[in-house]
Amino acid sequence: MSLVKTNDMFTLRHQDRLLPTGRRSHSCNPEGVTESIGRPFIFVCINGRYDLHLPKRVCNTCHYEWTPEWGDLIRSGYWTASVNGDTLYSTDVFKSFEDLNTVEPGLSRQAFLQMLRTQHYGRTGKIHGDVFQRSFLEYMACQYECQKMTCEEPFSCPACTPKMLAVSVDGNRKQYRFRQSQRIDEPLFKGPFIMEDAAVTDFVDKVRTNVKCTPGKGTCGTSQ
């Protein structure tokens, strides 16, 4: 969609847009190569959904035709959702989803897709949740295989690599804080968590002397 001004009025007009991809070089005269609109598809990037077209190049000299293949698309940073390529994802959307999951592990897929389903500038914003999930997992699985092939370390934990430094990071920090503060905190209760036995027995005796016990009746006091 594009914003067009006609008679002092702004209107949204549909425009066919091409997917930005790397183009293969062709040995013929570049002026004889024409580029036109190819197959339509759904494109999802970090800004949401766009309806785009694949570029199609035809050489008028030798009648050579080119439209991006899977390899061209993957090299340009895209990931196809299906074999017929009706939906393409920009891999930055998967990277952002992964990064957000690392920073905020409770982040739901629904919340992320809700953010992507923006409807600015006449776009429909429809993104299929299950297709997104499947494509994300496929992409991550392929990334893992690529990392294995290149012997890349996918994740290293600073607390246990190369040596185990802390059993509980939080526990160690508390220890340092207590040592630095140089004061002894008075506990709220005499016992660490549970009341002392003597205090409990005293309290039970106090209750027994003040409340009359009626045999055979499960309730105490005057309640009916």
Interface contacts to Zn ion, rule CB under 5 A: 28, 59, 61-62, 64, 157, 159-160
Closest CB 148 distance from Zn ion, rounded Å: 20
- CA dist 127 and 77 (Å) reads 19
Residue nearer to Zn ion on the CB measure, 29 or 119: 29
Output the smallest distance, CB 170 to Zn ion, in A: 14
Q: Which is nearer to Zn ion, 51 or 72 (CB)?
A: 72
CB of 26 to Zn ion, least distance (A): 5
* Nearer Cβ to Zn ion (141/160): 160
Type of residue found at 39: R
- Least distance between Zn ion and beta carbon 159 (Å): 5
The C-alpha atoms of residue 71 and residue 80 are separated, in whole angstroms, by 11
End-to-end CA distance of the chain: 74
1 or 59: whose CB is closer to Zn ion? 59
Q: Count how many residues are written for the chain.
A: 224
User: CA dist 126 to 98, 118, 120, 132, Å?
Assistant: 21, 9, 12, 11
As a whole number of angstroms, the distance between CA 55 and CA 19 comes to 7
